[in-house]
Amino acid sequence: MKAYFKKHVLQFKRPSGTSRGVLKTKETYFLILEKEGKMGIGECGLLKGLSIDDRPDYEDKLQWVCDSIDLGAEKLYNECIEFPSLQIGIETAFKSLYSEDPFQIFPSEFSRGNESIEINGLVWMGDKQFMKSQIAEKLEQGFGCVKMKIGAIDFDTEIELLKSIRKNFGPNEIELRVDANGAFHISEALEKLNKLSDLQLHSIEQPIKQGQWEEMAQLCETTPLPIALDEELIGIFSEEKKLQLLQTINPQYIILKPSFIGGFKGTDSWISKAEHLGIGWWITSALESNVGLNAISQYTFTKNSTLPQGLGTGSLYTNNVPSPLEVNNGKIKYNPALAWDFNV
């Protein structure tokens, strides 16, 4: 078997604002396997500044994976415990290699084009007018669930934007989620959650910075608005620590980004623990190209969640890998009539 990797720099169509700054480009890596005339492709979806494996030796470790490819999927996966984005790349590349079609990673009614997955529309941070235009665009596109990133502009302005949606659309028409990316200070968090809860939101992601377990536990216990942990899960590798985190904080939801938490196997582990404790969950992509988004979407469909998932990031780039993934009326679908063009 031959293995090598290619780095690809994705270009955002328009700069995308988060509480940690504005994104204009996104580096990603493709792990490519070749054996007996067949090819397998997996994406190692690293996100600078957020992934736990954003470290100077990343490419060295990826090269080691290529050089050691004959160890097989399981051993390589276990050797990359501190590199979750390499783990999902390894899992996907091997599944791809041994599939009849290299892009049918988890064959199902979704990958055959017969079923779709409901997703949330994503509204990026920016000035009031920019955010307002994005909201209008998402509603026009038929999304039944909209997720708005907050915490970068004035809080009162964000409240006004949310109020303007609620004025026209009740909670039965549009489900609203907000994502603070840890932007709230602990001293003001509960007051802000109270104000947000008046708007009948579905949930808020990561209101305070990760790593403050006791403070987050207290918030989850007293909050009038369901809290979903996101960044909190990053860097938790052991099964014991995962259980400890969930039992300590006891959140209403957890959000699972496979590229950040050990791929599909890591996501399975979080899901089983969350369900055992009665904690809800949904799955989100982490700005991967269509290669990673395809694998994560196919995996997500097999989990049979009834909640809208966070898989609407494929249209963000000018140079994404052309694929059969389509988003229509707030749902992502795989259209087998369209072709892949993996030429990066």
DSSP label at 320?
A: P
Please, what CATH class does the domain formed by 116-334 belong to?
Answer: alpha beta
Q: Which of 167, 201, 46, 177 is nearest to 119 (CA)?
A: 177
Determine which one of 26, 95, 138, 149 is catalytic.
Answer: 149
Query: How many Cβ atoms are within 10 Å of 241's Cβ, its own excluded?
Result: 11
What spatial distance separates the first Cα and last Cα of the chain, rounded to whole Å? 21
Model confidence at 176: pLDDT above 60: yes
Domain ranges in the chain are: 2-97, 116-334
| pLDDT at position 126 over 90 | no
CATH for 2-97, among 3.40.50.300, 3.40.50.2000, 3.40.50.150, 3.30.390.10?
A: 3.30.390.10
User: Average per-residue pLDDT in the chain?
Assistant: 94
Residue 49 tokens read as: 């500044």
pLDDT tens per residue across span 323-344: 999 999 999 999 999 999 998 6
Q: Is 242 assigned a catalytic role?
A: no
pLDDT of residue 313: 80
Per-residue confidence band for 136, with pLDDT thresholds at 50, 70 and 90: confident
Report the SS3 class of residue 56: coil
Distance, in Å, from the CA atom of 291 to the CA atom of 102, rounded to the nearest integer, reads 10
Task: Kindly report which listed range (9-18, 173-182, 201-210) carries the lowest average pLDDT score.
Answer: 9-18
Nearest to 117 by CA among 272, 322, 258, 328: 328
Torsion of CA 217, 190, 179, 244, to 10 degrees: 0
List 147, 192, 242, 257, catalytic entry: 257
Three-state secondary structure along 181-247?
CCECCHHHHHHHHHHHHCCCCCEEECCECCCCHHHHHHHHHHCCCCEEECHHHCCCCCHHHHHHHHH
What pTM, to 2 d.p., does this model score? 0.95
Pull the structure tokens for residue 236. Answer: 């938790």
Band of pLDDT at residue 147, cut at 50, 70 and 90? very high
Residue 135's pLDDT is: 85
**pLDDT, tens digit, 9 for 90 and up, residues 1-54:** 999 999 999 999 987 766 567 788 999 999 999 999 999 999 999 998 889 999
Active site residue 132: no
